[in-house]
């Protein structure tokens, strides 16, 4: 959000046939981040993730479309923006492995968990 790229990222998702069905600015706290990143909470770089993710607002999105989870991951490119090819969102707009523009669910199952973590049913229009 600090680079004013939300519109460009959303434009790329929409251009690829994905439709936003929920969106909101949120402030993440330690509890939510520890749950969300529980798979890496024991890693030495986890405190840096907490600091970065709490530094400002986060735009939470739910995107729908055919193969949405795989399509979003393909559009974003690899997590480390320095290794992401040009033409991907991270390759064009990211700066490193931490400031990589966006998080993407890695499976339909995790997407469902994350939707429930960040949204209530009344906020979803799809």
Total domains in the chain come to 1
Catalytic residue among 54, 71, 73, 103: 103
Q: Report d(CA 13, CA 63) in Å as an integer.
A: 8
> For residue 38, what are its two tokens?
């529980």
Overall average pLDDT of the 6-28 stretch:
97
**Would 54 be classed as within a structural domain?**
yes
User: Is the Cβ–Cβ distance between 19 and 11 less than 8 Å?
Assistant: no
* Per-residue pLDDT tens digits for 48-84: 989 988 999 999 999 999 999 999 999 999 989 999 9
Q: So what's the pLDDT on residue 92?
A: 95
103 noted as active-site residue: yes
**Residue 42 in 3-state DSSP?**
coil
Q: Is residue 17 part of a domain?
A: yes
pLDDT band for position 22 (50/70/90)?
Answer: very high
Distance (Å, whole) CA 49 – CA 3: 18
Burial label, 71 (beta-carbon count in 10 A; 0-12, 13-18, 19+): middle
What is the mean pLDDT of the segment spanning 16-42? Answer: 94
Q: What is the mean pLDDT of the chain?
A: 94
Helix (H) or strand (E) holding 61: strand 58-64
Q: What is the pLDDT of residue 43?
A: 93
pLDDT in tens, 97-108: 877 889 899 999
CATH number for the domain harbouring residue 29: 3.30.70.141
What is the span of the domain harbouring residue 88?
6-119
């Amino acid at each position: 959000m600090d680079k004013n790229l939300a519109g460009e990222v959303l434009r790329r998702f929409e251009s690829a046939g994905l439709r936003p069905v929920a969106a909101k600015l949120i402030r993440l706290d330690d509890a939510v981040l520890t749950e969300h990143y529980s798979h890496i909470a024991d890693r030495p770089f986890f405190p840096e993730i907490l600091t970065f993710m709490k530094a400002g607002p986060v735009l939470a999105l739910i995107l729908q479309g055919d193969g949405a989870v795989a399509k979003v991951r393909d559009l974003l490119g690899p997590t480390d923006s320095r290794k992401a090819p040009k033409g991907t969102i991270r390759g064009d707009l990211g700066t490193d492995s931490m400031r990589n523009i966006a998080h993407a669910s890695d499976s339909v199952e995790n997407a469902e968990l994350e939707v429930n973590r960040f949204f209530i049913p009344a906020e979803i229009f799809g």
